[in-house]
Amino acid sequence: MRLKNVKGAREIIENSSYVITDLRINYNELFKNDNPIRIEIGMGKGNFLIENAKQYPNINFIGIEKFDSVMVRAVEKLETLDLKNIKLIRMDAQNINEIFNRNIDILYLNFSDPWPKKRHHNRRLTSPVFLEKYENIFKNKKNIIIKTDNRKLFEYSLLSFINNGYKISNISLDLYKDDLSDNIPTEYETKFAANGAIIYMVEVIKEW
């Protein structure tokens, strides 16, 4: 759910050292290392990305979020921490292929907007339109991991991946009945799972 009218959100975001403002930057120079870079599109309030950054200090994480009113909550959390391996970008995912060029290790799509109306299916982050945008952002093999509570979006995504040359490497049709030893939840996930919703997950890979 989108937050609205967060006073001073734009100013807080623009003044944070965690937020990338020059999108032409070399990301390895930004992080001052050659560690793998993983991105999450639609990072929301940042819980998933922040917990990953804490748990995996030798991996760099970049969160992408379109809305100031949502992103500011992640910024506020980060300002109380000292994490060197996480940065945020405020942008529309439509432009993802203009920002990254063969430097991403894994792409996370967590609880993305399902865009239920058929005429809006191309807006889904797993649509062929977006899979085309992702083609050249990956450094080595193309690796995408999604989680969602929306079965129709999940089924659509599986078909979209397979039809575009991806192979399934890991899948769960009920994540909270399977092994959760390395699962880091998002804010939505925690709420949905507590209410008994089924959480679907799939990891897909496509070789160059």
Domain regions of the chain by residue span: 32-206
Q: Which CATH superfamily is domain 32-206 in?
A: Vaccinia Virus protein VP39 (3.40.50.150)
| Tens-place pLDDT, residues 78-100 | 999 999 999 999 999 999 999 99
Catalytic residue from among 92, 105, 113, 178: 113
- The predicted structure's pLDDT at residue 1: 45
| Tens-place pLDDT, residues 142-188 | 999 999 999 999 999 999 999 999 999 999 999 999 977 889 999 99
Model pTM score? 0.94
Share of the chain above pLDDT 90, in %: 88
Using CA atoms, how far residue 65 sits from 61, 168, 182, in Å, is 13, 27, 24
Q: How far is CA 88 from the centre of its chain?
A: 11
CA angle 9, 42, 49 (to 5 degrees): 90
Using CA atoms, how far residue 52 sits from 15, 20, 129, in Å, is 23, 19, 28
- The predicted structure's pLDDT at residue 2: 45
Confidence of residue 199 (pLDDT cuts 50, 70, 90): very high
Rounded to a whole number of angstroms, the distance between the first and last alpha carbons of the chain is 36
Place of tokens 């999450």: 40
36 HSE (CA, 13 A, CB side): 16
Catalytic annotation on 113? yes
